[in-house]
Structure 1
Amino acid sequence: MTIQELHSGLDTIWVVLTAAMILLMEGGFALLEAGFVRHKNNVNIIMKIFADITIGTLCYYVIGFGLMYGKDIGSFIGTNGFMMSGDLSHLQFSISLDTYWLFQAAFVIAVISIVSGAVAERINFRAYILYAILMTALIYPIAGHWVWGGGWLGQLGFMDFAGSAVIHALGGFAALAAAIFIGPRKGKFLPEGLSKIALPSNLPLASVGAFLLWFGWFGFNAGSTLSATDVRIGHIAVVTMLSAASGGAATMLYTLFRYKRSDAPSVINGSLAGLVGITAGCAFVSDGYAILIGAIAGLLMLFVTDWLEAKGIDDPVGAFPVHAVSGVWGSIAVGLFATDGGLFHNGGWHLIGVQLLGLLVLCAWGFVLTWLGLKLIQLIVPVRSTEDEEEIGLDVSYHGMVAAYQEHEFIHHDDPYNDADEEQ
């Protein structure tokens, strides 16, 4: 075995393992979102995550990967590589094409799962499947091409190592568009402008989900080196840990001293905000700046969560504050703190300008294409569940489950859907 073959083998093992870690994050999304919503919608959350994994994987294989990494026209969109066929020799890696596709497929699944939480408890399941197809086959892959597939933003010098902008800001603004389009949950906001608090159904479950996401994030960030021998891996892992800890600590202390209690959902989302914030610059910033990035991300998440409530926008799991706002901040932070080109490292204003331009384009793309996509889906199937479906819960309405946690042993095999209705 040659040194090159050994190097390639190690890189392949590294990327496959980190891809598996990223895929495990879907378990984190499922538990986090199920813990934040009411019991009657727990199964629906799980089924949406399964739709992300199953439908999203197939759409990305058939269409999305080619649009993202195929040979492009005008630096805008890929034109080959569908089902990983055709000439993809322009992709030069030490790993195989199959390995690289697996890693990228794990990323695309994460994008659609961001939107899942923002529309929890009131989206028609059929409409969600159609939107998942749109996001994984078109919206994300085209935007990803602009930055990572040799497109025009990457050529300008836009820096996003593991996806604060391409994945989280884009996905977060798509989530905002979907939440506005579909409207708030029934009874969430009162006519006089006040809002009701929907208590999480299972905070221990949500916290385990957050820990799984935290674990998977090491694969998300460090795995983006695509090389087991990249000396940056240790530093990337350290700044990922520091930023997550800082985001959680900032929200813990802020809520403790302002409200005289430390709010558990805020701390959970604060840690996730820190993870999102460092994702763009994990290979470019120092330890100290990582702590600062995480703390600011956590606090911004709190302020924007309150802003959404004031504007009457219902986001049950905080998808927009956690992913969009922290993703935007993390991408700007690269322009400020990057050791190569950052404003605070004598890099001037060029990188800041490129980062802002990229963010504007990516966020607008996610928001507008989601809005238009849902308008189109509305012509095919209702996007929102009916009032009756929402009232009895989407678990019964779309999946024939009385509850996520069953107390009886057996039901009639003939027609479990009618049995579920009779239980109600």
Structure 2
Amino acid sequence: MDEMYLMNSLWTMVSAILVIFMIAGFILLEAGSTRMKNAGHIAGKTIFTFGLASIVFWAIGYAFIFGDNANFFVGMSDFFYNGALAEDGGLADTVFFLFQLAFAGISITIALGGFAERAKFSAYVVFTILFGILVYPVIAHWIWGGGWLAEHGKQDFAGSTVVHLTGAMAALAATILLKPRIGKYNKDGSANNIAGHNQVYTALAVLILWVGWFGFNAGSTVSVDGAFFGFVALNTNLAAGAGAVAATFISWLVLGKPDVPTLLNGALAGLVAITASCAFVEPWAAVVIGFIAGVLVFYSARFFEKRKIDDPIFALSVHGTAGVWGTLSTGFFATEELATVGQAGLFYGGGLHQLGVQALGVVTSGLYAFIISFVILFVMKKLVGIRVSEEEEIMGLDISEHGSYGYPEQMSANSTSKISS
């Protein structure tokens, strides 16, 4: 067996594990950004939906993305993937399958962030299945599976569009249909700050996600040949750092103090933005891309809040706005030497062509993800409902949806004190 085949398979398997471990980061991020009474629900539903998404990807998703006999939308082979181990490629097919499964799981996790603190558990079940069949694999096929956007030279090395924008647009559909949480907005339209219960969780979450992103981006080389994964990792880290710095200073300038949630979102925005371009741009451009993402995420969060779009974990800004910017950035900064897909960007003599292709990908993928997700959730809302009752929401989803608290001692003590008073 070829040594390079084994090394590629091992590197991609390690990367898949890193990406799957990012689910732990999302658990802490979402739980820490929301209230204590919903923490157990968030942790449990995230594990469950990743498990469910894995089954859906095995049965249908992988075939729709990478299957042969493709039509305009999807591939049409390898349903219920049988794990056949081919040795004529650059790495084991089974490892590539697991790596791609991890990406699908991350995208649905991002999408479900738009449901936070007010959706029924049953809504997560149904939407995870339908998103995993009708939304994510279609866009992934268009860009990564040899579909029509791939034929146009769409650049998205590790998924600013495929994973992040797709998940964010589904989250947007959910936030619109679910409507804001109780108490988020006053009658005059002003917003109240519903603070998350644990900033240490959110900071630890960002660190876990930051480390996991080396599997996300550098792992997308699916090869150790030439150690190019080191270059991709360098760009990834620089963009994350620049995003954190930019978000910190813009919040300090505007708010008078460096805001902790904003700086954390800045790091994530830098990571999301560089995900499309990490293999196509030089390090200095990675810093610029991350810095702009850090500024954008601050103003984007304020933009959505003023329009009464209640996004507790900032999925729309971190994954949506930064995902759009990251996708477009290759149209400016992709170099002729590094652009193994598509063409060089505007600043490297490529003109407006690649920027146009990137914009086409953003518009078509974003609209498709939003429209299909909106239709799915609208039908679910009319048929079975997707939001818990007012009483259940006030009570907290831990107890109303699952019958137990994530923090049983503290929450039970709070309930007892309220009754006695």
Q: What TM-score, normalized by structure 1, do the two folds share?
A: 0.93
Name which of 6, 10, 15 aligns with 2:7: 10
Q: CA deviation at 1:129?
A: 1.1
Residue pair 1:161, 1:283 contacting (<8 A) in 2 also? yes
Deviation string, structure 1 residues 333-358 (Cα, Å, up to 9, x no partner): 00110002111000111111111111
- Greater mean alpha carbon deviation, residues 384-393 or residues 228-237: 228-237
Q: Residue in 1 aligned with 2:25?
A: 28
Alpha-carbon displacement from aligned partner over 1:258-282 (angstroms, at most 9, x marks no partner): 2221100001111000000000000
User: Which position in structure 1 is the counterpart of 2:275?
Assistant: 279
The whole-number CA distance in structure 1 between the counterparts of 2:411 and 2:197 is 21
Q: Does 1:107 align with 2:103?
A: yes
Alignment of 1:296-335 (within 5 A): 296-335=292-331
Distance (Å, rounded) in 2 between the aligned partners of 1:59 and 1:92: 27
Q: Give yes or no for the alignment of 1:167 onto 2:163.
A: yes
Q: Compute the displacement of 1:83 (Å).
A: 1.3
Q: Is the 8 A contact 1:16 1:103 kept in 2?
A: yes
**In structure 2, do the counterparts of structure 1 residues 386 and 147 end up closer, same or farther at CA, with 3 Å as the change threshold?**
same
Report the CA distance shift for 1:71/1:236 in structure 2 as closer, same or farther (over 3 A). same
Please state how far the C-alpha of 1:375 moved relative to its aligned partner. Answer: 1.8
Matched, 1:386 2:389: yes
Structure 2 contact 405–411 (Cα < 8 Å) conserved: no
2:346 to 338, 343, 346: 343
- The residue matched to 1:280 in structure 2 has which SS? helix
Report the residue type matching 1:211 in the other structure.
L
- CA–CA distance in structure 2, aligned partners of residues 147 and 286 of structure 1: 23
Uncovered stretches (5+) of structure 2, i.e. residues with no partner: 337-343
Q: Does the 8 A contact of 2:217 with 2:275 survive in 1?
A: yes
Work out the CA distance in 2 between the residues paired with 1:60 and 1:267. Answer: 34
Whole-Å Cα distance in 1 between the matches of residues 292 and 333 of structure 2?
A: 14
What corresponds to 1:77 in structure 2? 74
Alignment partner of 1:44 out of 41, 44, 49: 41
User: CA 1:408–1:354 in structure 2 vs 1: closer, same or farther (change >3 Å)?
Assistant: closer
**C-alpha separation between the residues in 2 aligned to 1:307 and 1:291?**
24
Instruction: Please list every run of 5 or more consecutive structure 1 residues that lacks an aligned counterpart in the other structure.
Output: 410-418
1:227 aligns with 2:223: yes
In structure 2, give the amino acid aligned to 1:401.
S
What is the alpha-carbon distance in structure 2 between the residues aligned to residue 396 and residue 348 of structure 1?
57
Corresponding letter in the other structure for 1:168: H
Aligned match for 2:369, one of 366, 369, 380 = 366
Q: 1:398 pairs with 383, 398, 401, which one?
A: 401
Query: In the alignment, is the contact (CA less than 8 A) between 1:126 and 1:381 conserved in 2?
Result: no
Listed one character per residue, the Cα deviations across residues 65-89 of structure 1 (whole Å, up to 9, x for unaligned) are 1111101433421111111259998
Please list every run of at least 4 consecutive aligned residues from structure 1 whose deviation after the TM superposition is greater than 4 angstroms.
85-89
Alpha-carbon deviations, 1:263-303, whole Å to 9, x = none? 00001111000000000000000111101100111111111
Query: Which one-letter code corresponds to 2:334 in the other structure?
Result: A
Shift of 1:405: 4.8
TM-score, length-normalised on structure 2? Answer: 0.93
**What amino acid is the match of 2:364?**
V
Aligned to 2:54: 57
For residue 123 of structure 2, the aligned residue among 112, 124, 127 is: 127
Cα separation, 2, equivalents of 1:214 and 1:330? 16
How far apart are the structure 1 equivalents of 2:43 and 2:211? 20
Contact residue 110 and residue 315 of structure 2 kept, 8 A:
yes
Task: State the shift of 1:111 in Å.
Answer: 0.3
- Equivalent residues of 2:68, 2:75 under 8 A apart: yes
Aligned residues of 1:52 and 1:113 also touching (Cα < 8 A): yes
> CA 1:379–1:230 in 2, change beyond 3 Å: closer, same or farther?
farther
- Equivalent pair of 2:58/2:79 in contact (CA under 8 Å): yes
Aligned to 2:340: none
RMSD over aligned CA atoms reads 2.1
Offset at residue 207 of structure 1 (A): 0.6
Give the Cα–Cα distance (whole angstroms) in 2 for the partners of residues 407 and 50 of structure 1. 23
Q: Which amino acid is 1:272 matched to?
A: L
Percentage identity across paired residues of the two chains: 38
Does the 8 Å CA contact 1:80/1:86 hold for their aligned counterparts?
A: no
